C-alpha cells in the first residue's frame, strides 16, 4: 500500500520529501492486523495463537492439529481464512505488545465476513445452543469472576437466530455480545463490518478501555447443535474514524 501511494505521488510530480510525509501521515490512520496474504494456502495462519495465547496451532500435530478446522484459502488472487467444521476453537491474535495499536487513535475495527453455513437453531443466549457461524472477539483488561480473572471482552457475532442489534451480557458482565448479522440472509456474500471499539466499550462497561486491547480472537462453532458451520474471515484493520 505504501509503495503504491508513493509511486502515484511521484507520477504526479510531487517532491519526494512531500511524498514521504503524506504516506507517513496516511499510514498513521490505520493499523493492519491481518489480511492473510502472506500465509500458505491450506495451512493455519502462522502468527495466530490458541485461545490463551500460549502456543501457535500451526505448530500442533496429530489429533490436536485436526481439531482446528481453519485453513487459508485463495479466491481470485485474494487469500482469506476459512472455517469449515463442527467443533470450533478460538484463534488468538495478540495486540497488547503491538506498538502500532492505540484504539484512541484508531478506534474503528473493520473486518470482512462471508457466511456459507450457519448452525441451525443456535442461540448465543442459551448455553446448550451456544454455537455461531462466525464471531470476532476483542479482549481488553482482566475482569473478575468469583475467585479468578477473565478478560473483559466484546464479542461481535453472526447469529443463527438472534436479531441484529441484540446485546447480551455473560460471565458476570465480563463478556458483552453484539449481534451484527443473523440467519441466512446474505449467505455467500462478503460483508464488511465496522465498530468503534472505544464507544462500544464505554457504553457496555461504563468506563474507559485501555489503549491496547489484549487480543483479537475469532471463533466459529457448531458442536452443541451438532451441525456444521462454514465461514470466511478477512482484512482485520484498525483505523481512524475519518478513514
The pLDDT value given to residue 147: 58
26-65: per-residue pLDDT in tens? 567 999 999 999 999 999 999 999 999 999 999 999 999 9
Of 162, 75, 65, 155, which is closest to residue 118 (Cα–Cα)?
Answer: 162
DSSP states along 10-25: HHTT--HHHHHHHHHH
What local confidence, expressed as pLDDT, does residue 12 receive? Answer: 42
Q: How many CB atoms lie within 10 A of CB 39?
A: 22
pLDDT at 123 over 50: yes
Concatenate the DSSP letters of all residues of the chain into one string.
-HHHHHHHHHHTT--HHHHHHHHHHHHTTEEEEE--TTSPTTS--TT-B-TTSSS-GGG--HHHHHT--EEEEEETTEEEEEEEESS---EEEE-TT-TT--TTTS-EEEEEEEEEE--TT--TTSGGG--EEEEEEEEEEEEEETTEEEEEEEEEEEESSSPTT-EEEETTTTEEEEEEEETTTTTTSEEEEEEEHHHHHHHHHSSPPPSS-SEEEEEEE-TTTT--EEEEEEEEEEE-TT-
Whether the pLDDT of residue 3 is over 50: the answer is no
Grid cell listed for 77: 488472487
Residue 61 pLDDT:
95
Q: Which residue has the higher pLDDT, 1 or 116?
A: 116
- pLDDT band for 73, please (50, 70, 90 cuts): very high
Average pLDDT on 103-108 reads: 98
Residue range 167-191: mean pLDDT, rounded: 95
Q: Does 2 have pLDDT greater than 90?
A: no
CATH architecture under which domain 35-239 falls: Sandwich (2.60)
Instruction: Return the pLDDT at 136.
Output: 98
Give the model's pLDDT for residue 144: 61
User: Where are the domains positioned within the chain?
Assistant: 1-30, 35-239
Q: Which residue has the higher pLDDT, 18 or 127?
A: 127
Express as a percent the part of the chain with pLDDT over 70.
86
- Model pLDDT, residue 145: 58
Per-residue pLDDT at 151: 86
- Say how far apart CA 179 and CA 171 lie, in whole Å: 17
203: which 3 cell numbers? 457504553
Report the pLDDT averaged over residues 154-158.
Answer: 98
Amino acid at each position: 500500500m505504501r509503495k503504491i501511494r508513493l509511486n502515484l505521488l511521484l507520477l504526479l510530480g510531487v517532491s519526494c520529501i512531500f511524498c514521504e510525509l503524506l504516506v507517513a501521515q496516511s499510514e498513521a490512520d490505520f493499523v493492519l492486523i491481518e489480511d492473510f496474504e502472506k500465509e500458505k494456502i491450506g495451512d493455519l495462519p502462522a502468527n495466530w495463537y490458541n485461545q490463551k495465547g500460549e502456543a501457535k496451532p500451526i505448530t500442533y500435530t496429530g489429533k490436536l492439529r485436526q481439531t482446528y478446522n481453519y485453513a487459508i484459502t485463495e479466491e481470485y488472487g485474494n487469500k482469506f481464512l476459512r472455517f469449515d467444521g463442527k467443533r470450533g476453537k478460538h484463534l488468538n491474535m495478540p495486540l497488547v505488545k503491538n506498538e502500532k495499536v492505540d484504539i484512541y487513535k484508531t478506534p474503528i475495527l473493520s473486518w470482512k465476513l462471508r457466511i456459507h453455513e450457519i448452525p441451525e437453531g443456535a442461540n448465543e443466549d442459551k448455553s446448550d445452543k451456544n454455537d455461531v457461524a462466525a464471531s470476532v472477539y476483542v479482549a481488553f483488561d482482566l475482569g473478575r469472576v468469583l475467585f479468578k480473572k477473565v478478560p473483559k471482552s466484546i464479542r461481535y457475532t453472526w447469529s443463527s437466530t438472534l436479531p441484529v442489534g441484540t446485546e447480551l451480557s455473560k460471565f458476570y458482565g465480563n463478556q458483552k455480545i453484539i449481534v451484527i448479522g443473523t440467519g441466512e440472509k446474505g449467505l455467500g456474500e462478503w460483508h464488511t463490518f465496522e465498530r468503534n471499539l472505544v464507544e462500544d466499550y464505554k457504553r457496555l462497561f461504563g468506563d474507559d478501555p485501555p489503549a491496547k486491547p489484549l487480543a483479537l480472537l475469532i471463533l466459529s462453532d457448531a458442536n452443541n447443535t451438532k451441525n456444521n458451520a462454514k465461514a470466511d474471515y478477512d482484512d482485520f484493520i484498525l483505523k481512524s474514524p475519518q478513514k
